[in-house]
Structure 1
Amino acid sequence: MASRQTRLRVISLYKELHRLGRDYPDPSYNFHGKLRGLFEKNKDLKDEAEIEKAIKLGEYIRNETLALYSLRKYRHLKRMYPAVSPTDPFP
């Protein structure tokens, strides 16, 4: 049986991923549906090592999603400001 601390980690990870999914750039991807499916698939895990492996996968997905958002924000800012040309007298 999973410990209370592990259970709280999983719930916290799910909530964080759910919040991140609100801003997912591709609405046709169905982020929340896939997220729920992954968590429901692993709800019956009993082995601590398997649970830890699933948590690590969730943390990896969280980090990759955050990186995707950072890249999206960077690209948006890059488009908003024109590039400075070397012939421009006022950079």
Structure 2
Amino acid sequence: MSANSTRLRALALYKELHRLGRDYPDPNYDFLGKLRRMYEKNRHLKDPEEIEKALKLGEYIKNETLALYSLRKYRHLKRVYDPAPLPKPPL
């Protein structure tokens, strides 16, 4: 894989993570700051295997963040549309 295509993959992943980070539910967790620091920390990587490992970690973080958002959406919909629990009948 060429260096240019790896760079483009890294930039695309950064953009996706940045978009996801805008809506991160916990305002005290500095998602965008941590994202930037992670990319700055790995900017010196030259070994293709290390770069691939870092990109896989970024993909994992993206998938976990998407799962977090889906769970949050599911919980909200359940809370809104789930009828109030019925009282248990006496035995």
**TM over 0.5, shorter chain:** yes
Which consecutive residues of structure 2, in runs of 5 or more, have no partner in the other structure?
A: none
Hey, what's the Cα distance between the residues in 1 that align with 2:85 and 2:21? 38
Higher relative contact order (CA 8 A, sep 6+): 1
**Map of 2:79 onto structure 1:** 79
Cα deviation 1:49-90 (Å, max 9, x = unaligned): 000000000000000000000000000000001337679xxx
Q: TM-score, normalised by structure 2?
A: 0.89
Q: What is the correspondence of 1:1-91 to structure 2 with a 5 Å cutoff?
A: 3-83=3-83
Cα RMSD for the two superposed structures = 1.6
Unaligned runs of 5+ in 1: none
- Report the Cα distance in structure 2 between the residues aligned to 1:32 and 1:82, rounded to whole angstroms: 34
Number of residues of Structure 1 aligned to a counterpart in Structure 2: 86
Separation in 1 of the partners of 2:84 and 2:77?
14
